[in-house]
Structure 1
Amino acid sequence: MSSQPSQRSEHRTDTRHEAPLPSHHPFGATDCAAGCAASSQRHRIAAETREVAITSAGFAADLLPPHWTAHAAPTADGSVYLLILTPGTGTGRAELVAPHAGRGWAIGITDPVTGTDTVLRTTDGDVAYQATLADAVRAARAALQPPAQPMPDSTPLRPVPTGRYIDSNCLIGVTDPRYPHIVRARTVGSGGHPHAMLPTLRRIWAANSHDSRALVTRLLAHDWHYLDPTTGTRTSVTDHRRIAGIGLADSPDARHNADTEPEPACVVPLTAVGELDTAWLYLLDPAEDTVTVHTGDGDPISRHPLQH
């Protein structure tokens, strides 16, 4: 899994690495047709993992303890991209294979100094794929940190000034259990970065009596200029409408009266979210009181409880 295999190729001592992860090594095609198909598959995997690894690097860094770093890098042959997590001390590091081909995050723990290269596996010996980025970061930290060292929960984000993040728009919505690939969503004009939006959604959820279904109904009633649970009902002098406990609706006050209905929520396949020119997508699950963070292309990267 290492992006520098030449440093360890003659020094591997960990016997648990005898079964490589799928899709990492060249395919042994014996004819032209098979070779072309294998090459095409490698290119698809490289492109798919590159996009996810690069997009996830910044968010992974926010989930790590101080002095850890996260960056994306390809393997030596370029067949797959890795998300590399490096602790502030020690010589080991975690190499996460970005999700592809329907699989989740796979994790390898490498140490070029000792020559070990271990893939995290389940008790049955299968690769321990992680469904979300938060789960993968947590598993990698547990594998790299000494057992006696307490490991704080990696799901809550550390409070940091949001000014260090580029402001962005986003979509907030929900999927219908009957049609899980269809998204109903509203736009939010600013404050869309996960470091700002996740704490905001948790505060709004608390301000709305921890009722996720009621919260989804209120969020889908309007497009939003921004979300802020401290917003009151005072009449706005701008072209927006204040919704108490939610935020500033992106609709002129003059258009809101008993005879006026707001524009309907956007309905789009999850696979087509990338066409909506948004930076992030947040999908609420009222049944589980959770929110899943997606990139602007619709790829899920982490899932978080609304209960903080």
Structure 2
Amino acid sequence: MTTRVVIADDSDIAAALLEAILEEDAGIRVVGRARTGAELLALPAVAIADVVLVDLLMPELDGLSVIRAIAARAGVIVVSSLPRGSAAVREALAQGAVDGLEKRDLAGAPARARLRAAVLRAARRPVAARGGRVILVAGSTGAIPALEALARGLGPLEVPVLVVQHLPDRRERDLARALRALGARARPARAGDALSPELLLAPSGSHMAIDGRGRIQLTGDGPVGGHRPSAEVLFASAAPLARRVAALVLSGLGSDGARALPALVDGGGLGFAQDPSECRAPAMPRAALLSSPRVRPIRVADFVELARRWVLGEG
């Protein structure tokens, strides 16, 4: 997978040098450049960037303000004339930057290689570890059309989407293949997966959870409410991340997810249930709506638009 990078530096010469260094690696592509902090935040390419290189000393909006605005959705590396041990760089790291490099250290092949390695490390860092946002989805009978709509709408977004869908044994690979055809980076989850920008399906016969490191945990514990995987397990595991979570309960029989959903919304997360009027089996979303007054009904098309604005920090 190509690592997409945006460079923010008020020096055209410095930005061109950084771009040339990065694109010596065929797996790295610079998708945008900005000369000021304000220009960077307005740049459409930031929405798809895996990594952003930021100079701390920029006009209009300083590097620290930029880091605070984008660290939740991209790995930020400070590339500055300031020493790595300076107070400003230390503050940048505290605000969410994942690394700091000095411009004067970029001469020579070893230094160029270090910069490229730093970019690739930042791109692989789990989204949850950067304070990024996560979407959780629960579905059962009648939810496949809604999942297809989510795949089309959320596919271009750089956000992890974790899905518990009740399926016949081992059909998650078939579902993942169908969702990939619609534009989503979809696959069955594996134990130890980082929360990367892709759609991960809970495997048949395993509960899926988020562990304390922001990685996927799969367990063979007994069924919960008759289900394995169960949305109750996934939702409960995400409670420590609640402020960064949006959970959606889709069409289905029963009430999977309804017990754990209130803790998410009470902790500052967003809770939604597919509008029962558009569900083939409205029991699951109705149970979710009854679980807390903070859980709101929503049509799937409207959730896609809301999620887009939420992921991009627009709402």
Question: Same fold judged by TM-score > 0.5?
Answer: no
TM-score by length of 1: 0.27
TM-score by length of 2: 0.26
Structure whose alpha-carbon radius of gyration is higher: 1
Indicate the structure with greater helix content.
Answer: 2
